[in-house]
Amino acid sequence: MKNSEIGPAGSELGHFLAHNFTVDTESPSLTDPPPLLQNCFFVYEKNSFVRLPINSILYLKAESNYVRIFTQEQRYLVSQSLSRIEQKMQTYPYLMRVHRSYLINTSHISRINTRSVCIADHTIPITKKVHKTFMGRIQAIQI
């Protein structure tokens, strides 16, 4: 898997992401126009923007001031905080913050353990604070 390239801070890329990384169409403003494409966003990679459908995301992991986005095919590194990305993706109910460092796509969960979930052979921790809310959102049948 290759990592995507990140332009320097304050670059045209940073300006583009800051003004176009939006999915909130219910409250558009003059400073934050509605997105042109729904259910996707673009990630900068090798001097171009690559379309990334939201449903292709397995999970996102915070790494200092960056976020690594994991899909089945590739990993991308973007210069946004996880909180900022979470805020922009709040209209997608299947994306959920389960840990201060992780935002997951619940549609890709293969196993739920006491304090973690498995997505594509990766174990992701769930904090105690989030566990009850998380289990309330998951449809589980206990045998």
Confidence of residue 111 (pLDDT cuts 50, 70, 90): very high
The pLDDT mean for the chain works out to 78
Instruction: Outline where the chain has alpha helix (H).
Output: 12-20, 82-88, 128-137
Burial of 143 (0-12, 13-18, 19+ CB in 10 A): exposed
Higher per-residue confidence, 8 vs 63? 63
Cα–Cα–Cα angle for 85, 63, 97, nearest 5°?
45
Q: Is the pLDDT at 88 greater than 90, yes or no? A: no
Instruction: Please report the pLDDT score of residue 28 as a whole number.
Output: 46
Confidence of residue 104 (pLDDT cuts 50, 70, 90): very high
Q: How many helices (H) and strands (E) does the chain have?
A: 3, 10
Q: Of the ranges 32-36, 117-121, 129-133, which one carries the lowest mean pLDDT score?
A: 32-36
Q: Is the pLDDT at 133 greater than 60, yes or no? A: yes
Higher per-residue confidence, 91 vs 123? 123
Instruction: Please report the pLDDT score of residue 98 as a whole number.
Output: 94
Question: What is the mean pLDDT of the segment spanning 90-103?
Answer: 90
| pTM, 2 dp | 0.71
